[in-house]
Structure 1
Amino acid sequence: MRCLFHGSNVEKYIRQIGLDQYLSGPYWSLVHRFSNNTQTHTIVDQSVEFRTESFTEFMRFQNLNHEQPVIKNLLCSIDSDDVFYDIGANVGTYTCFVAPKIDRGQIVSFEPEPHNAMRLQDNLDLNDFDSQIIRVALTDTNTTIDFALSGNETGEGEHAISLTDGEDTIKVEAARGDSIIDQRNLEVPTVLKIDVEGAELSTLRGFKKTIHEHARLVYVEVHPEKLPEFGGTVSEVRAFLEGAGFDVAEIPQKRSEVFLRASK
């Protein structure tokens, strides 16, 4: 049965005629059921294997084409001696694609949600890649916060700093980026990717010194609908980056979020 669905001509034909959009849940649940719990994806000649044991993980990588323009841009822009910070790393999509490109630099992945952080390590081990994983939420203050969970499956991508009562939360350490570099004696980043579900501006402010003085590339996934909940706007994110001396451009993608590329 497995070969009838996942990666088969049947699946490709269903995608080609657009029927997958209508079958959606039942179709993909069946495909996941008969999958082998891993997926391999190739972007810019970088092939990476990911564990997809949960349905959420499976769908995350089935929909990877939405993120391919950003990943491709990043892979074509990064140098072997860069220090790359993956902020909001989730299960390691960006970390794992970047890892083979960096041999003289370093990768640091920040993911505060425990299950995602563990799967990130699994995906690194699966591909024989290396990254330092830090389970801290990066913001503009050093404290302990309530971190709201969007679901209980590994791979959930909308966990965020809690702003309201009644949410399912866990306590996590939060820190300013500039502070944690000093506290943990980390190499300063030259390239950053930030995906923090609306807290983009506070994360950038926590890295103010680092971004002004050391970074040459910053990729920020901006969430226009969530930003106001954290007291920010898309224009303020742009203004922060431009004020730090970056040229800012938008990378087109097939989602409601805005992915900004800031370069010096």
Structure 2
Amino acid sequence: MCREADEFPAFFTPRADDALFIDCGANIGVTMLECKVRWPHAKIICFEPDPFAFASLQRNVDVNDLPGVRCIEAAVSDCDGQATFYGDLAPTADGRGNSLNAGWAERPGSTSRTVACRRLSPLIADQQIDFLKLDIEGSEQAVLQEIAHQLPQIHAIYVEVHETPATLAENSVDAITQQLTAAGFTVDAQQRDYEFALPPHLAQWQATARPTQTQLLCWR
């Protein structure tokens, strides 16, 4: 994401200085910080379930004294409550791929813990959302279905779709693209196939699970 900062989000221009962003899968806040540099008056709601990443996210907001940023320690899902969160969970861990989706996140050496889950629909309510980012490691389709009736209120979306052959029935680029196109978005798909996308210790998992990541840039 840092490598792509010069282009992010090239397909989006906010309607006003106080644009409303929702960042799902905020991690330590790279997207949040980039948005606040570009649009200092933007209001941003960040979701991050990994407790260690969340601590860094909140610290980045605090030490930079950023107004208008709200951080919520929860996974975005299609239901409220609690769920099992899988992945590399430790203060110095590589958290890429941590997910509610066991088919995506259960890997050699992974662990799990219970985290809070939140639906987006009550948060969105009747608000106009300028930009929604979904980078939630395999739960993108479920969340978009949960807010299907509110998609007309959203002006631009970035979705990173995480697929494996075993999880296509519940999370696929084709299904998500069809839903967003039907909701009036223009959708540009870009494959993420970078040599630095995964660390070396996940090479065996990559060969077995055959994961793919596709970026969907969606605008009206």
Could you say which TM-score interval applies, normalised by the shorter chain? 0.7 to 0.9
* Whole-Å separation in 1 of the counterparts to 2:6 and 2:166: 23
Q: Does 1:248 align with 2:204?
A: no
- 2:149 equivalent in structure 1: 209
* Counterpart AA for 2:45: V
The alignment yields a C-alpha RMSD, in angstroms, of 2.8
Counterpart of 1:133 in structure 2 is 71
Whole-Å Cα distance in 2 between the matches of residues 247 and 194 of structure 1? 17
Aligned counterpart, 2:135: 195
TM-score normalised per structure 2: 0.76
Q: What is the match of residue 116 of structure 1?
A: 53
Tell me: higher relative CO, structure 1 or 2? Use CA pairs within 8 A at least 6 residues apart.
2
Q: Are the counterparts in 1 of residues 49 and 115 from structure 2 also a CA contact under 8 Å?
A: yes
**1:73 aligned residue:** 10
SS at match of 1:78: coil
Q: Which runs of 5+ in 1 are unaligned?
A: 1-62
Q: Percent identity?
A: 23
| C-alpha distance in 2 between matches for 1:136 and 1:192 | 16
Displacement after TM superposition at 1:167 (Å): 5.6
Query: What is the CA-CA distance between 1:229 and the residue it aligns to?
Result: 6.0
**1:193-216: CA deviations, max 9, x gaps?**
11011111012122223322x101
Distance in 2, Cα, partners of 1:92 & 1:205: 25
Structure 1 contact 139–175 (Cα < 8 Å) conserved:
yes
Alpha-carbon distance between aligned partners in 1 of 2:217 and 2:6, rounded to the nearest angstrom? 11
- The DSSP-based 3-state class of the residue aligned with 2:46 is strand
Q: Aligned partners of 1:254, 1:117: CA distance in 2, in Å? A: 27
The residue type equivalent to 1:98 in the other structure is C
Residues 229-262 of structure 1: per-residue CA shift (max 9 Å, x gap): 6712110010111111111012465535211111
1:159 alignment partner, one of 89, 92, 98: 98
Which has a greater percent of helix?
1
- Structure 2: which amino acid aligns with 1:258? T
**Which string of whole-angstrom CA distances, capped at 9 and with x for unpartnered residues, describes residues 63-108 of structure 1?**
732x33652526x633523100110000001001001333444110
8 Å contact 1:188–1:210 — kept in the other structure? no
Report 1:36-75 matches (<5 A).
Answer: 64-65=2-3, 67-68=4-5, 71-73=8-10
C-alpha distance 117-230 of structure 1, shift in aligned 2 (>3 A): farther
TM-score, structure 1 as length reference = 0.65
Structure 2 residues not aligned, in runs of 5+: 195-211
Aligned partners of 2:19 and 2:42 also within 8 Å: yes
- Preserved CA contact (<8 Å) 2:50 2:89: no
Task: Establish whether residue 257 from structure 1 lines up as the match of residue 200 from structure 2.
Answer: no
Say which SS state the counterpart of residue 77 (structure 1) adopts.
coil
